[in-house]
Amino acid sequence: MEERVGEIWHNFITRLADKNYPDAEVELVNIKKTIGIFFRALGGDGSLSVAQTDESEYTSERSFLKRIARSSEKYEFAWIDENSLRLPKVIDYFPTKALNKDLYLWLAALASISKQSDSWIIDNQLRTQCALAAFPGLKNLYQRLLTAHLEQRPELDKISKDEQKTESIILQALNHSGSVVALPKSKYMPRPVTLWLHPNPPNALQKGDQENLKDSDNQRTDKQKDATDIGKKQAKRVDSPDEVRGLITVRMENLFTWGEFANMDRSTDDDEDPENAKDVAKDLDGLAIARNQRASKVQMKFDLDLPSEAMDDEVLEEGVLLPEWDWKKQTLIQDKCQVVSMVSTQQQDTSLPDHLKATAKKLRNQFQAITPARTWHYAQSDGQEVDLDAYLKFKSDLMAGQHDGKSNLYKELSSGARDLSCLLLADLSLSTDTWVNNDSRVIDVIQDSLYLFAESLNATGDRFGMVGFSSRKTNPIRIHTLKTFDEKYSGKIRSRIAQIKPGYYTRMGAGIRHAANLLKEQVATQQLLLILTDGKPNDLDMYEGRYGIEDTKQAILSARAMGLKVFCVTIDEKGNDYLPNLFGTNGYALVRKVTDLPKTLPMLYARLTL
C-alpha cells in the first residue's frame, strides 16, 4: 500500500514540476523529412542528416516543485556534430502543436547559420540576428515562439537574488539580441532557453580546456600524449547490463558504430593493436562506464577476409593509385587508395535467363525505335550507288578547269550514329546480400538489371561498358570488369554478369574516380557515368558518415569537371536524405520498389540520352 501511494505521489508531483504538454507533443520522427528539406533550403550543410539528440545534464537552479519532486535537471538541446543536426526526440514545451512544430523549424533555422562566437550566449544572439535578417519570413514565427517562451520564464520576484541577476540578463538577450556579452558569475547555469542551441555541445572543448590540455601535454611522455590526443569525452556512469545479448541479424554494412559501453573489469584488451584501440576511442562521442565483478567473456571482431586466390576472380591490373578527399583537413590526399581490376575466370557462353526473355524482347524493340533511322549519305568516296548530283558537279568542275582532285561520287544507305559512351558502375557491396522477398536478394535484382541494361544498349548500338566495385578499406578497391567498351556483348559477357556476388564495402569515391578515368578515355561528344547503388558510402575505417559523403561529393565534382554526365540510380529508401547533396536534385533517381529496378534502369538511360 505504501509503495502504491508513493508511486501516485511521485507521478503527481513530477507532472506538476515538469510543466510540459504531452497532448500537444510533436515527434521528430513525424517531421524529420520536412526539417531536413527546410534546413538545407536555408543553406544548412547538405551532408548533415537529421538525428535525435541525447539528454544533457544541466545544472540550473531548480524550482521549489522540482526540489520536492527530487527530479534531476536534464534537457534535450539542439546542436550540430560532424555528421548530424541533432534535435529533441519530442517537443512538448508549448501548449499547442503548432508552436511545438514551429520550434523545430526555428532550431533548424538557427543551426543553418554558421557559428558566430565561442561564447554560448553571444553565439545564440548573433545566430538569431542573422537568421531573422536572412529569412524575414521567420520573424512572425520567432515572435510567436518568443512570446510563448517568455511566459514560461520564472518571475523575478519568485527566484533567488543570485538567479535574478542571471535571469535579467537572459531576458535582455532574448528581447534585444546582441545586447549581452557575458553572464554574471554563478554556481548555476540559467534556466534552459528553449529557443537557443546547446550551451556546451558534446565533444566541444572550451578554449580554457584546450589551453590546459596543451600545458599538461608538455609535461607528459610521448605515450601519454597519444592518449591525450584522443580528446576529452563526455562520460557517464551506467548500470551494468544484466545479460549478454545475442547478435541480432542486421544489415552488415551498418555494423560500424562501436559500442560506447566500456567494461572496466575486463581482463583482456578489446584489440591487440593499441593503435586500433586509439582510433576507436577517437571516433566515440562519449563513454558509458559500468562496474561489475566478472571478466568479459565475449569479444566480437567483425571483418571480412578476402577469398582464396583459387576461388577469386583473375587480376587484370593492380597497383593503380587514386587520391581521396579528407574533409577534416580540406585537402586531397594523393595515392591514398589502391585499385585492383579483376575479371571472372568462369566465362563460358551463357544465355539470357528465361524469366527475362520476354522483358528483354520488349525493351529491345523500344530501344531500336530510338536508334537513328537509316538514311542516304551523299558524296561518299565509296558506296552502294552512284551519286548523280555529285557526278554532274564533278564533270562540270572538270570541264571548267576547277576540279580540286576529289571524286566523292557515291552515296550509301546506312543508319545514323549516336555519338555517346556510357559506363555503368554497379555497387556490389555486402548489403546487396539483403533479401527483398522470399525468393530473391538485392544482388539478384542488380544482376537482372545488368542483363536488361546490356540487352537494351546492344539494340541501339551505343558504346557502353559495365563494372562492379566493392572495397575493404583503402586497399584493395576491387573493380570487377563485366564488359569493356571494346568488347562485343555476347554470351561471355552474360557469363560474367551471372558470376557477380556480394562483395565487401562501398568506398564510392574511389569507385567513381576509377570509372571516370575509364570513361574519359572514350572519344564521344556525350559521356554518361551511370551509378547503381543500394546505400550510403561506407567502409571499415573512418569512411562511414561525413567522411565518406564528402569524399564521394568531391569525386563527383571531379568527374563533372572532366565533362562527364554523372547520374545515380538508387534503391535506398533514405536516399533523399543525402543524394541531393551529392548529385543535385536532378542528378539521381530513387526506385522505391526494388523489383522494378531491372525494367526501370534501361528506361532511365533512354531518358538521359535522348
51, β-bridge pairs? 86
Question: At 479, which amino acid appears?
Answer: I
Give the cell for residue 594.
526494388
**Cell 555528421 -> residue:** 83
Task: Find, among 25, 78, 81, 85, the residue nearest to 56 by Cα.
Answer: 78
Higher pLDDT, 184 or 437: 184
Contact 445, 436 (CB under 8 A): yes
Contact 572, 580 (CB under 8 A): no
pLDDT tens digit string along 167-220? 899 999 999 999 998 888 877 778 889 999 998 887 644 443 444 333 434 443
Task: Find, among 481, 376, 472, 383, the residue nearest to 426 by Cα.
Answer: 481
Task: Find, among 404, 405, 408, the residue nearest to 390 by Cα.
Answer: 408
pLDDT of residue 272: 42
Share of the chain above pLDDT 90, in %: 44
Count of beta carbons in the 10 Å neighbourhood of residue 327: 16
pLDDT of residue 424: 97
pLDDT of residue 300: 45
Full set of structural domains in the chain with CATH: 2-175 (no CATH), 227-290 (no CATH), 345-368+418-469+479-609 (3.40.50.410), 373-415 (no CATH)
Contact 103, 147 (CB under 8 A): no
Cα–Cα dist 454/228, whole Å: 55
Higher pLDDT, 436 or 31: 31
Q: Virtual CA dihedral for 125, 131, 132, 135, nearest 10 degrees? A: 180
SS3 content of the chain, % helix, strand, coil (to 5): 40, 20, 40
Q: How does the average pLDDT of the chain come out, rounded? A: 79
Contact 403, 397 (CB under 8 A): yes
Question: Looking at 73-82, 241-250, 392-401, 445-454, which range is the least confident one?
Answer: 241-250
Res. 252 pLDDT band, cuts 50 70 90 = very low
Got the DSSP string for 62-101? PPHHHHHHT---EE---EE-SSEEEE-SEE--SSSHHHHH
Kind plus residue range of the DSSP H or E element containing 530? strand 526-533
Q: What are phi and psi of 189, to 5 degrees?
A: -75, 160
Higher pLDDT, 371 or 212: 371
Q: For residue 447, is pLDDT > 60?
A: yes
Cα–Cα dist 373/462, whole Å: 14
- CA 479-480-482 angle, 5° bins: 135
Contact 484, 394 (CB under 8 A): no
Q: For residue 136, is pLDDT > 50?
A: yes
Contact 443, 431 (CB under 8 A): no
Res. 60 pLDDT band, cuts 50 70 90 = low
Task: Find, among 568, 563, 597, the residue nearest to 580 by Cα.
Answer: 568
**Cell 555476347 -> residue:** 490
**Helix axes of 546-561 and 575-583: crossing angle, nearest 10 degrees:** 40
Q: For residue 333, is pLDDT > 70?
A: yes
pLDDT of residue 259: 45
Cα–Cα dist 231/278, whole Å: 10
Give the cell for residue 35.
526539417
189, β-bridge pairs? 60
Question: At 426, which amino acid appears?
Answer: A
Residue 196 burial (C-beta neighbours within 10 Å; 0-12, 13-18, 19+): buried
Q: What are phi and psi of 284, to 5 degrees?
A: -80, 135
Cα–Cα dist 367/604, whole Å: 12
Distance of CA 574 to the CA centre of its chain: 9
The secondary structure of residue 253, as a DSSP letter, is G
Give the cell for residue 543.
569512411
Question: At 283, which amino acid appears?
Answer: D
Cα–Cα dist 570/536, whole Å: 10
Count of beta carbons in the 10 Å neighbourhood of residue 107: 25
Q: What are phi and psi of 271, to 5 degrees?
A: -145, 130
Contact 410, 387 (CB under 8 A): yes
Q: Which residues, in sequence order, are CB contacts of 210 under 8 Å at separation 6+? A: none
Question: Looking at 12-26, 213-227, 505-519, which range is the least confident one?
Answer: 213-227
pLDDT of residue 260: 46
Chain length of the chain: 610
3-state SS class at 59: coil
Cα–Cα dist 342/479, whole Å: 6
pLDDT tens digit string along 548-587? 999 999 999 999 999 999 999 999 988 888 899 999 989 9
**241-258 as b/e: b if 16+ CB within 10 A:** eeeeeeeeeeebbeebee
Res. 48 pLDDT band, cuts 50 70 90 = confident
Task: Find, among 94, 87, 180, the residue nearest to 141 by Cα.
Answer: 94
